Amino acid sequence: MRQMASEQIRSEWDGRAIWPAARRLSAILLVAAGALAGAGAAFYLTGTQDAAPPEAASAPRPAAGPGTGAAAAGTAPPRGDGYAAIAKAVMPAVVNVSSVQVIRTYERYSPFLTDPFFQQFFGGGMYDYVVPRERRELSLGSGVFVDDQGTILTNHHVVEHAAEVKVALSDGRELPARIVGIDPRTDLAVLRVDGGGLPKAILGDSDGLLVGDVVLAFGNPFGLGGTVTMGIVSAIGRGDIGVADYEDFIQTDAAINPGNSGGALVNTRGEVIGINTAILSRSGGYQGVGFAIPSNMAREVLDSLVRHGRVLRGYAGFGLQRLTPDLARAFGLPDTRGGALVIAFDPDGPAAEAGLRRGDVILALGDRPIASDEELRTQMSRLKPGERASLGVAREGRRLTVEVVLGEPPQPRSRRPRG
């Protein structure tokens, strides 16, 4: 995986004192939900006020003349609505998610037992006596109601290893939530709460997004409660970030901070078109680059988790490698701007049965050109068993189409018992 020069990819993690070290070898840190998120927030008051200069204050105001509309009638002009109507409609559907994780550790019975003086009397074996301890860690994040049955979309890392999950609504209610399903490979999770009068947001079509579209980010930054920020879509189809296995992120400059994980990215029609997930930062705070999971990918994961309790993904049975310019020239390809090189096979898999070969270069999936091996993996992960993948392939200077009917992923082989 490519390293990103001096940059850390920080997903909205829970801010625990010891973060998982094995997430990725690149400088990838999940930032997000923020355990005790409000504790690290610093607040600054500028103490400045706009004041008119004395001469301006003493200058007479021009009298309202005829034709000045509301001002002439002595009433204030109508207040501009801006995005307030969208915020009013969506904010009730965005919730604060708090999860409690029980951490079990083992501590030495007494620090004195490691002292050589005491070991003379009690022996070195006492050093091995330990006492189990438990501590509870709180993680804060966000989520969004997506139906009127109390179903909530959030990030997997917000509720990972949670022993207890609660959600706080904008009307002051706090409800226990149960985990319906999780999908670490896309960093999504589905929760459900019971109760009446629950709000919901509308999942929109993320495929219609264009770079430059205005978007609003809703969430719970630093544990402050419901917050909305505004920005634009900076890029689409971002991958190779290192946050999840399957990445097709929307990039935005709408402010996303620790605690925003699982919140909603909303278009100007009030539709949820993304689930806020990660930021790219050198400092750990917002620096203008945030990422959200597209709503269309989130909808597919949601439907599969609700229906089956797990995500069903089709299996092709081949291994891929990024096609570099040098490899493209070696395979006689004049266009080196995209593609994925097939380097390995399951001999009994669907790809082998369809006639795909090692050394084939996959240039397209259906009508969609493929920019990289990661993009192809992500797009094929959205196909279900039994669906057909039409692959545009370059082979020995020829272009052809290979139709692969995806199968069920093979079950992992059970290990032989030891003994």
Percent of the chain topping pLDDT 90: 48
Report the C-alpha gap between 267 and 203 in whole angstroms: 10
Write out pLDDT tens, residues 374-383: 899 999 999 9
Alpha-carbon distance of 222 to 141, in angstroms, equals 9
How far is Cα 142 from Cα 197, in angstroms, rounded to an integer?
A: 19
Q: What is the pLDDT of residue 409?
A: 82
Q: Given its phi and psi angles, is residue 240 left (phi above 0), alpha (psi -120 to 50 degrees) or beta?
A: left
Distance CA 409, CA 419 (A): 30
What's the DSSP call for residue 107? E
Local structure of 257: helix, strand or coil: coil
Alpha-carbon gap, residue 130 to 133, rounded angstroms? 9
Pick the more confident residue, 251 or 32. Answer: 251
Give the residue-averaged pLDDT of 183-194: 95
Write out pLDDT tens, residues 296-320.
Answer: 999 999 999 999 999 999 999 999 9
What is the rounded average pLDDT of the residues 357-371? 91
The pLDDT of residue 393: 93
Phi, psi of 206 (to 5 degrees): -70, -20
Whole-angstrom distance, CA of residue 226 vs CA of residue 263: 10
Burial 63-74 (b: 16+ CB within 10 A, else e): eeeeeeeeeeee
Locate the domains of the chain by residue range.
1-38+83-311, 318-405
210-267 residue pLDDT tens: 999 999 999 988 878 889 999 999 999 988 888 888 999 999 999 998 889 999 999 9
**CA–CA distance, 258 with 33 (Å, rounded to integer):** 5
**Highest mean pLDDT (candidates 81-85, 105-109, 148-152):** 148-152
Q: Are strands 368-369 and 340-345 parallel, antiparallel or unpaired?
A: unpaired
Q: Is 99 exposed, middle or buried (0-12, 13-18, 19+ CB in 10 A)?
A: buried
User: When comparing pLDDT for 270 and 29, which is higher?
Assistant: 270
pTM for the structure as a whole: 0.70
- 1-38+83-311 is a CATH 2.40.10.120 domain: yes
Among residues 358, 355, 370, the alpha carbon closest in space to that of 400 is found at 355
Choose the CATH number for 318-405 among 3.40.1050.10, 2.30.42.10, 3.30.420.40, 1.20.1510.10. Answer: 2.30.42.10
Torsion angle, CA of 230/234/237/242, rounded to 10 degrees?
-80
In the chain, what percentage of residues exceed pLDDT 70? 69
Higher-confidence residue of 82 and 375: namely 375
Contact 126, 159 (CB under 8 A): no
Which residue's structure tokens are 């960093």? 187
Quickly state the pLDDT bin for 53 (edges 50, 70, 90).
very low
Largest CA distance in the chain: 102
Evaluate if residue 329 carries a pLDDT over 90: no
- The CA distances from residue 306 to 143, 191, 265, in Å, are 16, 10, 22
Q: What per-residue confidence (pLDDT) applies to 39?
A: 36
Question: What's the chain's average pLDDT?
Answer: 77
Question: What pLDDT is stored for residue 36 in this prediction?
Answer: 36
Measured between alpha carbons, how far is 89 from 85 in angstroms, rounded to an integer? 6
Residues noted as catalytic: 157, 187, 261
Please name which of 221, 214, 209, 198 lies closest in space to residue 276, comparing C-alpha atoms.
221
Q: Taking 60 as the threshold, does the pLDDT of residue 21 lie above it?
A: no
Alpha-carbon gap, residue 37 to 225, rounded angstroms: 11
The CA-based dihedral angle spanning residues 251, 254, 260, 262, taken in that order and rounded to the nearest 10 degrees = -40
Model confidence at 102, pLDDT cuts 50, 70, 90, reads: low
Taking 50 as the threshold, does the pLDDT of residue 148 lie above it?
yes
Picking from 348, 350, 274, 357, the residue whose alpha carbon sits closest to that of residue 316 is 350
The continuous run of DSSP H or E covering 194 comes out as: none
Which pair of structure tokens corresponds to residue 388?
A: 């057909």
Identify the band that residue 130 occupies on the pLDDT scale cut at 50, 70 and 90. Answer: low
Rounded Cα gap, residues 202 and 189, in angstroms: 18
Judge residue 24's burial from the number of C-beta atoms within 10 Å of its C-beta, 0-12 exposed, 13-18 middle, 19 or more buried: middle
Residue that wins the pLDDT comparison between 279 and 64:
279
